């Protein structure tokens, strides 16, 4: 772990247990994060972007020690306190308190995040009292200082959350995180429910406070323009996997990972010359309960290679659909031997020939061999490579296109 890192996560995986019914029998698991390795440098703002369900909030919870079931290691290097947390050696209550004192979080929803029955001064002071760091009076003094730092007045201390606007509530939430003088603040979508003019106020406030208090930020958002505005480095998550991580400016000027490219090109820019282009869009239903094999992004990747993780089931479905649309076949008789081998039986040899053409034309790059045996077609797929994080220029990318080892092996195969 480098000296200037405040947090180092090594191979952190998180899964949630899903109980399908009240009977405990059929539990399934949802992989919210799979093998995340990440370091957060002191004094930086790291943006975490990704679609809904990609595991952004889970990452925040993992860092704050709020999860019960997880794997991997997290190292904390705060100024006067170093801690290590692993799955078997979960943090003790006292250690957790240390972490909560030195790091805190601002949530997305300014409406539900604050207890509506409490006065603002109590809301701000709550973590202070909670950490038993002093008496009530000192806590209130501190709340008074903070409320002014976030641009409100002392009068607001005796308001209830219901009497404040969304932007004002978010200011209160920010003030609250500062009460214990933290080193790290995690923002989980702090502005996504606010209007642009209020969003600008909150972003300015957040960036000012960072300078004043020497803070490190993890900034979770799905708004790429906001991520670009606030961050030094950016991490792109997809279905619980890191796709790319690097300096914000270079990721935006030259995204490497196909998903990052898709993401960045999807943001409409508020410019008069902005134009939408038709693009090769592939759509697929993906779920984190049964994540795609190989590269998790492969069902949607516009440049997926034949080694990216295709299995028989997926390819049969594609052929089924294609044969319905193009040949009018209402059902396809397919027999799956294993993940990489399957046979399609056609009604007659003539139809088998047509199907073979179709397969060759549409799915050529995914099928290693397809062979006509009478009215049956035997197909075999390529063995898949699991992508891993590889360095490329100034960043890390999780895609086999940038993996030299894969490239060499691939050339040999040809």
Partner 1 sequence: MSVTIGDIVQDQENNKVLSIKDLEVDFFTARGRARAVRGLNLEVSRGEILGIVGESGSGKSVTALAIMDLLPPGTGRIMSGSIIFDRNDLAPIYSSKYRVAGRIGREKLRIRRMAVRGVEKKLAEQKGRISMIFQDPLSSLDPLYKIDSQLIESILYNNEEFMIGKSLDKNDILGRMSEFTNLLKEKSTEELMDWINQNYGDGGFYKEVFFISNMSISESEKKIKIRRALACTKLLTPAETRKLKAKLPDATGRFFKPNNRRRLPIQGIRDPIVREAMLFSLELLEFVGMPNPENVLTSYPHELSGGMKQRVMVALAVANSPDILIADEPTTALDVTTQYQVLYLLKSINRKLKTTVIFITHDLGVMAAVADRIAVMYAGRIVEIGPARHFFDDPLHPYTSGLLKSVPQYDERVRKLYNIPGQVPDIRKLPSGCAFHPRCERVMDICKESDPVDENVNERRVQCWLYSDGVKHGSR
Ligand X SMILES: Nc1ncnc2c1ncn2[C@@H]1O[C@H](COP(=O)(O)OP(=O)(O)OP(=O)(O)O)[C@@H](O)[C@H]1O
Query: Cβ of residue 397: shortest distance to ligand X, in angstroms?
Result: 20
**What is the distance between the alpha carbons of residues 35 and 117, in angstroms, rounded to a whole number?**
41
Task: Report yes or no: 169 and 111 within 8 Å, Cβ to Cβ.
Answer: yes
- Distance (Å, rounded) from C-alpha 179 to C-alpha 202? 18
262 or 316, CB closer to ligand X?
262
Check binding of 219 to ligand SF4 (CB under 6 A). Answer: no
Nearer to Mg ion, 49 or 359 (CB): 49
Sole binder of partner 1 in the list 331, 348, 404, 412 (CB under 8 A): 331
Tell me the three state secondary structure of residue 58: helix
**From residue 251, how far is each of 245, 259, 342, 393 by CA, in Å?**
8, 12, 40, 11
Query: Candidates 12-20, 193-201, 274-282, 295-303 — which segment interacts with ligand SF4 by CB under 6 A?
Result: 295-303
Cα 390 from chain centre: 18
Residue 94 as a binder of partner 1 (CB under 8 A): the answer is: no
- For residues 160 and 368, which CB has a smaller minimum distance to partner 1 in the complex? 160
Pick the closest to residue 178 from 81, 113, 229, 105 (CA basis): 105
- Residue 14 CB-density burial (10 A; 0-12 exposed, 13-18 middle, 19+ buried): buried
- Give the residue, chosen from 94, 132, 137, 268, that forms a contact with partner 1 under the rule CB under 8 A: 268
In the list 102, 298, 366, 395, the residue contacting ligand SF4 (rule: CB under 6 A) is: 298
Determine the residue with CB nearest Mg ion.
57
By CB under 5 A, which span of 6-14, 57-65, 83-91, 383-391 interacts with Mg ion? 57-65
With CB under 5 to 8 Å by kind, the binding choice for 297 among ligand SF4, Mg ion, ligand X, none is ligand SF4
Residue 366 structure tokens: 């995914």
Using CB under 5 A, pick the residue from 34, 39, 45, 57 that binds Mg ion.
57
CA angle 184, 7, 175 (to 5 degrees): 10
Q: Is 159 exposed, middle or buried (0-12, 13-18, 19+ CB in 10 A)?
A: middle
Q: How far apart are CA 317 and CA 64, in angstroms?
A: 42
Query: Quick one: which of 151, 225, 212 has its CA closest to 182?
Result: 212
Q: Which is nearer to partner 1, 9 or 230 (CB)?
A: 230
Tokens of 356: 């073979």
- Tell me whether residue 57 or residue 260 sits nearer to Mg ion (CB atom): 57
Residue 407 in the binding site for partner 1 (CB under 8 A): no
Choose between 59 and 396: whose C-beta lies nearer to ligand X. Answer: 59
Residues within the interface to partner 1 (CB under 8 A): 51-52, 165, 167, 195-201, 203-204, 207, 222, 224-226, 228-229, 249, 252, 262-263, 265-272, 274-276, 278-279, 281, 283-285, 321, 324, 330-331
Residues within the interface to ligand SF4 (CB under 6 A): 258, 295, 297-298, 301, 303-305, 308, 387, 399-401
Residues within the interface to Mg ion (CB under 5 A): 57
């Amino acid at each position: 772990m480098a000296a200037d890192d405040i947090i180092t996560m090594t191979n952190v995986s998180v899964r949630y247990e899903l109980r399908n019914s009240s009977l405990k029998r059929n539990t399934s698991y949802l992989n919210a994060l799979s093998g995340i390795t990440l370091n957060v440098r002191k004094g930086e703002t790291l943006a975490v972007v990704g679609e809904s369900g990609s595991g952004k909030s889970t990452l925040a919870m993992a860092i704050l020690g709020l999860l019960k079931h997880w794997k991997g290691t997290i190292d904390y290097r705060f100024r006067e306190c170093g801690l290590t947390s692993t799955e078997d050696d979960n943090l003790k209550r006292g250690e957790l308190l240390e972490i909560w004192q030195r790091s805190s979080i601002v949530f997305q929803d300014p409406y539900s995040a604050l207890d509506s029955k409490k006065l603002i001064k109590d809301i701000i002071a709550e973590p202070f009292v909670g950490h038993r760091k002093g008496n009530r009076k000192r806590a209130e003094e501190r709340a008074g200082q903070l409320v002014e730092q976030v641009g409100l007045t002392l009068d607001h201390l005796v308001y209830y959350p219901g009497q404040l606007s969304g932007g004002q509530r978010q200011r209160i939430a920010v003030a609250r995180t500062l009460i214990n003088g933290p080193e790290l603040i995690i923002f989980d979508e702090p502005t996504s429910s606010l209007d642009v003019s209020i969003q600008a106020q909150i972003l300015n406030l957040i960036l000012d406070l960072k300078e004043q208090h020497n803070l490190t930020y993890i900034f979770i958002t799905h708004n790429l323009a906001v991520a670009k505005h606030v961050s030094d480095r950016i991490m792109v998550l997809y279905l619980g996997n890191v796709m790319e991580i690097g300096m914000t400016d270079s990721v935006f000027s030259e995204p490497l990972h196909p998903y990052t490219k898709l993401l960045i090109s999807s943001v409409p820019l508020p410019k008069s010359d902005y134009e939408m282009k038709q693009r090769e869009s592939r759509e697929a239903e993906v779920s984190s309960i049964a994540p795609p094999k190989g590269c998790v992004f492969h069902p949607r990747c516009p440049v997926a290679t034949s080694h990216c993780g295709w299995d028989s089931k997926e390819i049969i479905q594609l052929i089924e659909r294609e044969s319905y649309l193009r040949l009018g076949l209402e059902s396809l008789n397919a027999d799956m031997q294993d993940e990489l081998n399957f046979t399609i039986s056609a009604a007659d040899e003539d139809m088998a020939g047509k199907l073979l053409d179709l397969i060759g034309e549409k799915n050529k790059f995914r099928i290693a061999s397809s062979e006509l045996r009478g009215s049956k077609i035997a197909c075999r797929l390529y063995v898949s490579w699991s992508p891993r994080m590889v360095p490329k220029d100034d960043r890390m990318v999780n895609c086999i296109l940038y993996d030299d080892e894969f490239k060499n092996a691939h050339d040999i195969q040809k």
